[in-house]
Amino acid sequence: MRSDDISTFMGVDVAKDKVDVARFGESTVLTLDNNKVALSKWLSTLPANCHLAVESTGSYHELLAELAYTRGFVVYVLNPKDVRHYAQSVGRRGKTDRMDALLLARYLAREHSDLHPWTPPSPAQRQLSQLLKRRVKLVEAKGAIRSSMAGLPMLANPTANVLREIEQMIDHIDREIQAQVHALPQGKETLKRLCSIPGIGLLNGAALTGLMQRLDFANHDAVVAFVGLDPRPADSGNKRGQRRLTKRGPAELRRLLYNAAMAARKSAYWKPYYERQLAKGLAATQALIVLARKLVRLAYALFKHKTSFDPGHNLAT
């Protein structure tokens, strides 16, 4: 067997300015600058059949992931929660950059067959994701300013001016979000289909459009699981029937879908469905989560079959 036929598993702990890299089966850890020149030089030394694992770190991991993918390596961007649980399961007693790199290499070597390789987003998908995140920050800032300035009438006019500026920026971001969705293949048509569902608006429709266009989901349950709205069994001993959400996927998308469910419950179409969940004994939050899952499944069906919502179909059952 040629050496190129043997997979090499690398773990990379990424920080803002530095990365620590480890190869599975070796104890040496190499520290590099987190910039294009240093990373490209290091990647050029790796064998062809190389697999790399990094934790999702906001944006710090993106340069390495892009460079490695471009060179033809298999890249895995791992959920930090999964890595933390793995570290606990193997009895790791400390946490350093060096130890994290070694752990990532070990995790990838042992579990790669059950992991999904990373693929880079298109420029429009990347812009869409960044816009949605920035919009959240602006909405949070607006709420914080309004709350902190309450009860100070001498600052009422300046506060109103600042809030007006923020509102204008949010409106501008909303237009940019729509433009980026329209830049996706069939994005305009997909967004229109999803927004035909009562409760789905521009923001949650745009987020779902970007997600389903980027990842090839096997079925609607796979989308629900990716978003983290799937219930996790917690049966043990005499305790049966307890369920908690996995919350594995993007938190912002879960928030958007929860908001969509809050809007949908007031619609003539979804209100009876929501009330039936309450009649089963579910709390309001639980009923909204059930409705959010229903919205995700319906959105996937419309995306997959390229159809629009038909209120004549009795889907809310």
Closest CA to 178 of 134, 209, 199: 209
Distance between CA atoms of 205 and 298, rounded to whole angstroms?
12
Lowest mean per-residue pLDDT among 53-57, 176-180, 248-252: 248-252
User: Can you give the pLDDT at residue 275?
Assistant: 96
User: Can you give the pLDDT at residue 316?
Assistant: 60
User: Can you give the pLDDT at residue 95?
Assistant: 86
User: Can you give the pLDDT at residue 104?
Assistant: 96
Instruction: Pick the more confident residue, 81 or 141.
Output: 141
pLDDT, tens digit, 9 for 90 and up, residues 10-38: 999 999 999 999 999 999 999 999 999 99
Give the percent of the chain with pLDDT over 70: 93
> What is the CATH T-level fold of the domain 3-114, as seen in this structure?
Nucleotidyltransferase; domain 5 (3.30.420)
- pLDDT of residue 247 exceeding 70: yes
pLDDT, tens digit, 9 for 90 and up, residues 55-103: 988 788 999 999 999 999 999 999 888 899 899 998 888 889 999 999 9
Domain boundaries, the chain: 3-114, 122-183, 186-317
